[in-house]
Amino acid sequence: MIRDYHEFLEEVMIDSAAIQRRIEALGAQISKDYAGEEIVLVCILRGGVLFLADLIRQISVPINIEFMSVSSYGVGARQSSGQPRITLDVNSDIRNRNVMLVEDIVDSGHTIKAVVDFLSTRQPKSLRVCTLLDKYERREVDIEVDYVGFQIPNKFVFGYGLDIDEYYRNLPFIGSVDLTRYMASE
Ligand code: PRP
């Protein structure tokens, strides 16, 4: 049975209002940077869906949406294996188009690097990365992240698209996990 997250919530790291305010600002910046252009926003499933849905409502230039899936974490594992595999590709031709990858979090950077390497061979006009969360202390690969919602410390986080064993993605805030209490209540 799914546990009540209050059993292991350390703190609400970023509340819903702060997330929405930051997305408004990101959307305004992106709209300004791409004035007169169009963007294909590519959401990396599954964590990025809430961010994509809120972000596109704050962008005023014409957009398309696409979805990709990358498997990099083993079932039940909480560490990246560092060997991502593309399991779902975009549906349209991105050649000569502005592409922006939309992620909930960049951690080691392996996932986003794999997607950038994969798509850049198709000669998009531009290829940028937008992530809600940047856990920069954990980076293992050299990757440029163009738009960042929040830089966060090296803590295990959940909510607003991010899961714990596939649950809690629907919470409107980003919470951090008290690992001692999480293990104790498991
Ligand atoms: C998470 C997140 C990123 C990736 C970041 O995805 O959504 O895609 O991990 O980690 P990295 O920078 O260390 O590669 P996950 O594989 O957990 O899938 P999910 O989005 O379906 O939860």
Residue 16 pLDDT class (50, 70, 90 cuts): very high
Work out which ligand 1 atom sits closest to the CA atom of 84.
14
CA–CA separation, 40 and 114 (whole Å): 18
Residue 105 Cβ inside 6 Å of ligand 1? The answer reads: yes
Structural tokens at position 5: 């997250």
* CATH (residue range 39-184): 3.40.50.2020
Q: Which amino acid is at 88?
A: L
* Residues 6+ away with beta carbon under 8 Å from 11: 175, 176
Report how far ligand 1's centroid is from the alpha carbon of 111 (Å): 7
- Write out pLDDT tens, residues 53-67: 999 999 999 999 999
Q: What pLDDT is stored for residue 81 in this prediction?
A: 53
Q: Of all protein residues, whose CA lies closest to atom 7 belonging to ligand 1? A: 47
Work out which ligand 1 atom sits closest to the CA atom of 82.
14
Q: What mean pLDDT, rounded, does the chain reach?
A: 94
Domain segments of the chain: what residues? 39-184
For residues 79 and 120, which has the higher predicted lDDT (pLDDT)?
120
What spatial distance separates the first Cα and last Cα of the chain, rounded to whole Å? 11
Residue 157 Cβ inside 6 Å of ligand 1? The answer reads: no
Beta strand pairing call for 85-88 and 63-71 = antiparallel
107 is catalytic: yes
Report how far ligand 1's centroid is from the alpha carbon of 35 (Å): 30
Work out which ligand 1 atom sits closest to the CA atom of 110.
14
Residue 83 pLDDT class (50, 70, 90 cuts): confident
